[in-house]
Amino acid sequence: MESFPVEIDEAIQQTAKIMRLKSRGVAFTGAGISTPSGIPDFRSPEHGLWTQYRPMEVASLTAFRSHPDKFYSWLRPLAQKLFSAQPNEAHHALAKLEEKENIQTIITQNIDNLHQKAGSENVLEVHGSLKTLSCTACHQQTQTTEDLIISLIDEGNIPRCRECGAVLKPDVVLFEEQLPVQTWEKAETTTRNSDYMLVVGSSLTVQPVSSLPQKAVASGATLMIINQTETHMDDQAQVLIHGDVANVLPVLTQKVLYG
């Protein structure tokens, strides 16, 4: 089992105790849970994707509508990583906690489907997903098939609607777009009804999603944060662990389930 400094070990013990005592648990996950699986994050100062690209030029709704070819050229190498990535120990730990009903819902900012690949079932993808695409003309929704992705990755072909031939847009939330309404409403309701929220691998900088931990605290939930770097909610967390989520979460899960 992973060995930690005393302060982190004590914080894990405290977190596990809270999770055993409280019944309605929500996990809130960000890019930090998927970086150990080889998926780059967007905002870290040294390696984030937005240090290499201007987001409004490649990942905004305006950019997509004006130059879908430029959008897909940007998405192509990222899609390759997203579709080849496998869940890491942190994803599997959360799936186990959900299976044992210590966590009821996972609210994620990620679009990589790794929670589902790890076995989690009740996942709210508040920034959308790459599992489907929608036609920009006739609005038919298409499953993201292996053929479409291989064609994009290997040949750079822009996905097009089989019904009308128009460009397909991945069902992910771009800049200038609203969050998926039903998913967001479920996330807010789940947050307000939770006994605790466990933030995992999120810097809590992206609005409006980063408001959910604030809403949890305002509703009386206990907030616990596991993240490599500081967040603006650190002073409101009952437990704070600065560490690698892929190392911390498996140990935490063992403590929750087996003491």
Q: Just list the catalytic residues.
A: 127
Tokens of 169: 């847009």
Half-sphere exposure of 209 (CA within 13 A, CB side): 25
Contact 231, 28 (CB under 8 A): no
Angle between helices 89-99 and 245-258 (to 10 degrees): 30
122: helix, strand or coil: coil
Burial per residue of 243-257, b for 16 or more beta-carbon CB atoms within 10 angstroms, e otherwise? bbbbbbbbbbbbbbb
Tokens of 144: 């993201």
Closest CA to 130 of 71, 83, 74: 83
Closest CA to 226 of 239, 217, 213: 239
Beta bridge partners, 149, equal none
Burial per residue of 25-49, b for 16 or more beta-carbon CB atoms within 10 angstroms, e otherwise? bbbbbbbbbbbbbebbbbebeeeeb
